[in-house]
Chain A
Amino acid sequence: NAGVTQTPKFQVLKTGQSMTLQCAQDMNHNSMYWYRQDPGMGLRLIYYSASEGTTDKGEVPNGYNVSRLNKREFSLRLESAAPSQTSVYFCASGGLAGDIEQFFGPGTRLTVL
């Protein structure tokens, strides 16, 4: 089992460029999440999907969109990147409705110039 995988691991964008962060899990979890982590701010929830076909906003959704493509995959899109979106992005799965543990992917380090 690969657990939660994310691509890419690193990315540098220019202001205004767009990109999609990919996430996949092979643990048959219903719920999936996207977080960003900034120094001194902890993990902040961007969007989550409690089940296939549903998505909901988290604490900091502005500037992002998500797609729950199927049960395994949950992508995060930046339509027009801004320097304030420079961060480490983590995808996670599990943690709701009986899946006690939330498993995290390895993260994507994004820099927006």
Chain B
Amino acid sequence: AQRVTQPEKLLSVFKGAPVELKCNYSYSGSPELFWYVQYSRQRLQLLLRHISRESIKGFTADLNKGETSFHLKKPFAQEEDSAMYYCALGFHMDTGRRALTFGSGTRLQVQP
């Protein structure tokens, strides 16, 4: 079965410190992976998708198929990065249903 695991519920760092939010997935097919961010009292927004290999707001994420990981990284955290981060796996089921399975989320707190 498809599964996304985010092992940390909370990650607290100081401003300027490096950040790594962990995400591991379980999927037998070819994965499509995303990071979504939810700032306080706002809707979820797409932050990154692995197929575009882009850097948004200084964040990057590399798909490691050998380790089945898609960790989110930023070299220098900013206070405005404080938010809830969700890793998500996109896949198709046998029925044709397009599904997006989310991890349980990691709250990032960046302290001044």
A binds B: no
Residues of A near any B CB (own CB < 8 A): none
Residues of B near any A CB (own CB < 8 A): none
